[in-house]
A and B are shown apart, each in its own frame.
Chain A
Amino acid sequence: MFNRQIAAFAVALALLLAACTPAPKGGAATQSASGAEQPQPGGTLTFIVNAVPPSFDGHRETTFALLHPVAPFYSTLYKFDPSDLTKVIPDVAAAMPEFSADKLSATIKLRTDVKFHDGTKMTSDDIVATYQKIIFPPTGVLSPRAGAYAAVESISNPAPDSVVFKLKYPSASFATNLASPWNFIYSAAKLKTDIHWYEKNVLGTGPFTYVSYTAGQEWVGKKFPDYFAKDKSGVQLPYLDGYKALIITDANAEVNAIRSKQAAIEFRGFTPQQRDTLSSALGTSLAIQEAPWICVNYVVPNTKKPPFDDVRVRQALTLAIDRYAGSTALQKITIVKDVGGLMRPKGPFAQADADLQKIAGFGTDGAANKAKAKQLLADAGQSNLTFKFLNRNITTPYEPVALFVLDQWKQIGINATHDVKETSAYQADLRAGNFEVALDFNCDFLDEPDLQLAKFWSASGLGKGLNFAYYDDATLDKMIDGQSRETDPAKRKALVADIEKYAMDTKAYQYPVLWWYRIIPYLNTVRGWRIGSNHYTNQDLETVWLAQK
């Protein structure tokens, strides 16, 4: 009897242990989005958005928190190809724009089969009304990106299916700017009745129609049966029956949502440890896509506050930072990875490694650079440099990046304290110039020097409200303007490289720490979505489908 009890206990223990072994890790290989599988229509996609947008109007908002839940309701003139996110393809336009010989006029033919969700047909009037609102907003209407279209002189529509943009000068970025994900096509009729209508209402031409929005909780959209687009085999898009965007602001709750399969994906990005948690919990049910991100943090010394008006001090600050060591360590714990200059590393405008390493702060010999930094400080008479380093109170990735930088500075004898402020107060200090050195950031939807260099214009000129280093430099302004008008890509790249050397090394105005890295773990039933270089484009969910078991 005693033996039988032991045996029973052993069996029970074995079963218990077997049940408790964790699911095998891995199996979460990077997945190609549009595989050779046949898309299956149907299903509702539930995804996570971790912030709440102020209004519904894409023309005036600047946060991804609007694009993720609301972009599926709208179309734009052009967009980025979901299967090759560097290519611009027509959305409601019928073809790419035709430029006149002098490049001062662009004619765009429109599709004739586009309908708004209330059944009315889209015509060129709607395009004109939309772009008038964006480029030439009437008083009381806010359009933060109007400056990107400074080259546009006028918009007109000679026919119901074509629009003409007249430019003041040839612009290298004009065509891609039309693919901006923020330029939702609005109904001219609605805009005429109330130009603010779209701030609180939704009526678009996109693949999904608006069902409901519960503030702070969720958005619901459902398939628009009269959507104009079809896929290559002639199947009408979108594949999904509908979607739900859940608003979840806590990082752990986001992970748990995917882990318990209540949500399938989050389109912004997770940290490496969140990915690992999901990976070990879900095993082969999880897919992961990762890509470099057009987001970066800058160290910004305030040139109006001594001793940061001394270029040697600014150079010392950047030389002290061993970015390569930082990259190796920080990519394990937060969402940064690559070392790069003012343009995204490995992107179309990135310099070759060998060239980048010649710039101050980007050399590979950390110890030598630190010694040089120390020497520069001594020369400037600032061997005991003490200052406050302004930062936002956000954990990812501001905190670890700042701590890393502070530690690097400590190693050359700089006594910098971490001055953390809540975002609102941080913004106030930045805009008032009420800081010594700050950690700034920038995110863009495109590898486009006009966008990434926007912060480098003179502070009292075009850099107003953007350039927090508060310098005025006519030479730099001329260089930036020069590259903006240069239409030959190779020449343009060379001009941008010159700007990088000048702004980060010669003058050491502002310099990036590390570029961000986007990690998207998601349930592998989600197909048809491919990760791009940013979290703004490719969010209309047109090509997304769910693999049913």
Chain B
Amino acid sequence: MRRYVAGRLLLMIPTLIGVAILTFVIMRAVPGDIVALKYAGSPVPQSVIDEERHQLGLDKPMWEQFTDWMGEIARFDLGTSLWTGHSVVEEIQIRLPLSIELAIIATLLAVVIAIPLGVVAAVRQDTWADYAIRLFSIGGLAMPSFWIGLLMVLATITFFGWAPPLVFTAITEDPIANLSQMILPALSVGYRYSAVSMRMTRSTVLEVLREDYVRTARAKGVSESLVVMRHALRNALLPVITVISLEFAFLIGGLVVTEQVFNLNGIGKLLVDAVAHRDYTLIQALVLLLAAVFVLINFVVDMVYVVLDPRIRYS
């Protein structure tokens, strides 16, 4: 058991190293120069550009830049943004609370909608309720979330003359302003998210309802709702939790378009801007961070499986 856990932990390292190398290579292979970009469209002599490249360390040979960076990572130093000169940690720190909060609220919304609906759809399979719920959930998967978001913004501003606050205030400071900024993006993200979770819930509950022990419970005379609630749901939830956690991992850095549409100062926007600027240090740090989050969540989910499902322990 301990060997299994240790093994899974160790496996995270080669993945992260792979991500680090891939990011480094990709960004350096792509054309574009941050300094040329800073002075785009202005009469800047080449000497100025060369000087700044030298200051940023961009004229060093490729492998030297890589080893420098690896050394920094080893010391837990994420470096300085090439665009603003502020430390990467500072840049990320400002945006992270918003992204995390949005991810959490979207997840909560999704779970609250998805699980009850999924159960209902499974229990009433092939009835109109099932069809309606399945159509609703496929709608969430089919409609582009940024389109939904835009239409929502248009609707609120046309009919109510209200737009969400533009500046992020922490929930501890001003919960109302904070939530009113989060609610529309959380809904547009949450709709899609709940669709995925709902479909998973439905299919696992369906599967579980066919199992022998459910039949036994029914034969024993246990009421249908108790059968569903106590026996079926508990076992069905495991894969659902997997899907929800994996999707959550994508939410932190994956909400690029949503953040653009709702003008949220989050990690997704930071990442896109960084890539557009060719801000190598920031990109590398962000991608590594996001990969680490993803890998960590995967690991936690694996551990939950191990704890809850004894069959896996001995595989």
Contact = CB atoms under 8 A, between A and B. Distances in A.
A21 interface: no
Contacts of B40: 62, 423, 427
B180 to A, nearest CB: 12
Interface in A253-276: 253, 256-257, 259-260, 262-263
A425 B31 contact: yes
B77 to A, nearest CB: 18
Interface in B158-179: 161-163, 165-168
Contact of B46 (A216, A253, A465): A465
B86 A215 contact: yes
B94 A256 contact: no
B261 A427 contact: no
B313 interface: no
A55, A144, A454, A464 — most chain B CB neighbours (10 Å) = A144
A200 B85 contact: yes
Contacts of A263: 166
A144 B45 contact: yes
Given A144-B48, A216-B95, A422-B276, A62 B265 contact: no
A489 interface: no
A431 B33 CA distance: 10
Interface string B28-62: 00111110111111111110110110010000000
Interface stretch (A73-81, A244-252, A314-322, A345-353): A244-252
Interface in A422-442: 422-425, 427-429, 431, 441-442
A199 interface: yes
Contacts of A218: 167
Interface stretch (A135-143, A235-243, A367-375, A502-510): A135-143
B273 interface: yes
B141 interface: no
A412 to B, nearest CB: 30
A451 B166 CA distance: 37
A215 B85 contact: no
A85 interface: no
A260 B180 CA distance: 14
A427 B166 contact: no
A422, A441, A443 — most chain B CB neighbours (10 Å) = A422
B110 interface: no
B182 interface: no
Interface string B93-112: 01100000000000000000
A216 B269 contact: yes
A54 B94 CA distance: 16
A221 B40 CA distance: 28
A150 to B, nearest CB: 11
A54, A55, A217, A443 — most chain B CB neighbours (10 Å) = A54
B302 interface: no
B42, B165, B260, B262 — most chain A CB neighbours (10 Å) = B42
B127 interface: no
Contacts of A441: 41
A260 B153 CA distance: 11
A451 B85 CA distance: 29
Nearest to B270: A216
A441 B41 CA distance: 7
Contact of A465 (B45, B84, B163, B261): B45
A428 B157 contact: no
B166 A248 contact: yes
A215 B157 CA distance: 27
A100 interface: no
B94 A142 contact: no
Contact of A199 (B31, B85, B94, B278): B85
Contacts of B161: 259-260
Contacts of B157: 256, 259-260, 281
B37 A423 contact: yes
B84, B153, B270 — most chain A CB neighbours (10 Å) = B84
A142 B51 contact: yes
Contacts of A493: none
Given A256-B157, A262-B163, A249 B260 contact: yes
Interface string A10-26: 00000000000000000
A439 to B, nearest CB: 12
Nearest to B98: A217
Given A144-B44, A425-B32, A465-B43, A215 B90 contact: yes
A465 B95 contact: no
Contacts of B42: 62, 144-145
B96 to A, nearest CB: 12
Given A144-B48, A259-B163, A427-B37, A54 B43 contact: no
Contacts of B44: 62, 144, 465
B83 interface: yes
Given A62-B41, A443-B41, 19 more contacts: A54-B84, A61-B38, A62-B38, A63-B38, A147-B43, A200-B86, A215-B86, A215-B95, A218-B167, A249-B269, A253-B166, A253-B261, A281-B157, A423-B37, A424-B276, A428-B31, A428-B36, A465-B44, A465-B46
5 contacts: A62-B42, A215-B86, A218-B167, A257-B163, A257-B166
